[in-house]
Amino acid sequence: MRRAIVTTTATAAGVVLLLSLKPHGGQTASAQAPVISSGSDTGSTTGTGGTSGTGGTDNSGSGSSATTAPSASPSAKGGGSSSGKASHASYTGQAVDTRYGPVQVRIDVSAGKISKIDVLQYPDGLQRDQDINSYALPVLNQEALSAQSAQIDSVSGATYTSDGYTQSLQSALDQAGLK
Amino acid sequence: MTTRHAEHVMGTVFSFVVRDPSPAVDEALRAAVDRLHAIDARFSPYRADSEVSRIARGESELADASPELAEVMERCAEIGTLTDGWFSAYPEGRLDPSGWVKGWAVEQACALLCEAGSTEHCVNGGGDVQSVGGPWRIGVADPFRPGGLAAVLAGRDLVVATSGTAERGAHIVDPRTGEAPTGLLSLTLVSSGPGLLARTDACATAAFAMGAEQGLAWAGRQPGLEALAILPDPALPKRATNGFLRYAL
């Protein structure tokens, strides 16, 4: 049984190079699946989102006028929308009840773009729920942020598809006057 | 210039990245969003008035289903056969073809954009991604590091689907026992080509239910599919099929 252990210091190119030396195909995966060490090659690409602001990150929505979800909370309309281009501002979304408990997010907007999303409340009744939410909600968070990153186009993940998260986020976006 | 749009539909977020916008493509984007809502209205198991819910409650017969639902049921049956029963349109004994429908909805959105002339776009339906053109860089979420990535994949026409314990409820149970699988935190399948997301996503659901050993081995035998498994213990290394590394950066 052959296994390739990649050290955590390997660069991305190094990972590809090392592993390209391994025999490919022709064998079933279970016995000699290569091992990718955790956190080895992607730390530098995750970014913090929204800070690069270089080409290809146009988030003005000017070309896309598709309407936002009709379920956006009406109570969030109003305040702040007239100053959607304010350089720095925070908007707290409505707390939304889900069957697992309340969910509430806050967004920071900088130069007309989301610079940060914080989850202020999420269900934590059961340990299992806590485990799930502690990473699943930030996965959606990352997805929202990464949409403004020039480095990653999209993120695949097993999302805990919380209506509460997206509804609260939508209400914060509405307040910020962002699409 | 790039057009981006995020749409809250099907209980999750669908996000669009279009690198070659035009008036026709922008119009197609609006049509794609409408299409997603129409699919949700017909197929959602959470909407009491959807066709799926009416059939699940026994108020109407599957034999009288719309052509659209009938076709979805055929595709689900095919994946059920392909996966030895590890995928089912009845994951908890009740009609719920969501495991096919979400990826299929993304495919439909891409098809509308293609018909309008776009050759460079990427559509993400709640963490499952179909891209056209490229190269695209698609991150795989790291379940252990909130906001972090476990891998980055790059390529043209990339298709990436992830199933995991975070995907609660109906989709991820062993259809044989009705119980949640153990031994895996997430399983990502990657393939490349047009119109592959529904199949890739459904296969990811099935392979996740199989567990690490069997799921990786099964995925490794499927032509055109590669897999990355993240195990529940952060001390354990991630595991991938050999060909997965062709896509990994």
**A89 and A154 co-located in one domain:** yes
Out of A19, A140, A152, closest to residue B152 by CB:
A152
Rounded mean pLDDT, A149-177: 64
**A87 and A28 co-located in one domain:** no
Better pLDDT: B53 or A82: B53
Q: What is the mean pLDDT of chain B?
A: 89
Per-residue pLDDT tens over the stretch A93-110: 777 765 556 667 777 777
- Per-residue confidence (pLDDT) for residue B63, from 0 to 100: 95
Using pLDDT thresholds of 50, 70 and 90, give the confidence band for residue A63: very low
Determine, yes or no, domain membership for A143. Answer: yes
Using pLDDT thresholds of 50, 70 and 90, give the confidence band for residue A171: low
- Per-residue confidence (pLDDT) for residue A70, from 0 to 100: 31
**ipTM of this predicted complex?**
0.89
Cβ of B197 under 8 Å from any chain A Cβ? no
Helices vs. strands in chain A: H and E counts, helices first: 5, 6
Answer whether B9's CB lies under 8 Å from A66's CB: no
Domains identified in chain A, total number: 2
Q: With a cut of 50, say whether residue A54 has pLDDT above it.
A: no
Gap from A38 CA to chain B (nearest CA, Å):
6
**A123 and A157 co-located in one domain:** yes
**A21 and A101 co-located in one domain:** no
**A169 and A83 co-located in one domain:** yes
Element (H, E) at A127: helix A127-146
For the beta carbon of residue B167, count every other beta carbon within 10 angstroms. Answer: 24
Please give the interface size between A and B, counted as residue pairs whose CB atoms are below 8 Å apart: 249
First to last CA, chain B: 25
Place of tokens 């590890």: B86
- Per-residue confidence (pLDDT) for residue A165, from 0 to 100: 61
Query: Which chain B residues have a beta carbon less than 8 Å from that of A53?
Result: none
**A17 and A93 co-located in one domain:** no
Better pLDDT: A120 or B221: B221
**A78 and A38 co-located in one domain:** no
- The tokens for B143 are 């379940």
Q: With a cut of 50, say whether residue A176 has pLDDT above it.
A: yes
Gap from B86 CA to chain A (nearest CA, Å):
18
Out of B15, B151, B243, closest to residue A25 by CB:
B243
Q: For the whole model, what pTM was predicted? A: 0.64
Determine, yes or no, domain membership for A85. Answer: yes
**A79 and A144 co-located in one domain:** yes
Contact state of A157 with B162 under an 8 Å Cβ cutoff: yes
Gap from A39 CA to chain B (nearest CA, Å):
7
User: In sequence order, what are the beta bridge partners of B192?
Assistant: B158
Q: With a cut of 80, say whether residue A10 has pLDDT above it.
A: no
Contact state of A151 with B238 under an 8 Å Cβ cutoff: no
**A94 and A164 co-located in one domain:** yes
Cβ of A7 under 8 Å from any chain B Cβ? no
Answer whether B189's CB lies under 8 Å from B221's CB: no
Per-residue pLDDT tens over the stretch B59-68: 999 999 999 9
Per-residue pLDDT tens over the stretch B74-96: 999 999 999 999 999 998 889 99
High-pLDDT (> 90) share of chain B, %: 61
Contact state of B4 with A46 under an 8 Å Cβ cutoff: no
**A100 and A138 co-located in one domain:** yes
Instruction: Locate the domains of chain B by residue range.
Output: 3-246
- Per-residue confidence (pLDDT) for residue B32, from 0 to 100: 98
Using pLDDT thresholds of 50, 70 and 90, give the confidence band for residue B175: low
Out of B136, B141, B245, closest to residue A153 by CB:
B136
Strand bridging mode B149-155 / B158-164: unpaired
Q: Which of B7, B25, B124, B186 to mutate to test the interface with A (most CBs of A within 10 A)?
A: B124
Range scoring the smallest mean pLDDT among A58-62, A98-102, B41-45:
A58-62
Chain centroid offset of residue B79 CA: 13
- CA triple B68-A163-B79, angle to 5 deg: 35
Answer whether B133's CB lies under 8 Å from B19's CB: yes
Answer whether A102's CB lies under 8 Å from A164's CB: yes
The domain spanning residue A144 has which CATH number? 3.90.1010
Comparing CA positions, the residue from B74, B77, B69 lying closest to residue B39 is B69
Using pLDDT thresholds of 50, 70 and 90, give the confidence band for residue B227: very high
d(CA A97, CA A76): 16
Cβ of A112 under 8 Å from any chain B Cβ? no
Gap from B51 CA to chain A (nearest CA, Å):
21
Q: Which domain holds residue A24?
A: 12-45
Query: Which chain A residues have a beta carbon less than 8 Å from that of B149?
Result: 42, 45-46, 142, 152, 155
Strand bridging mode A35-36 / A96-98: unpaired
Considering the segment(s) B3-246 as one domain, its CATH architecture is Roll (3.10)
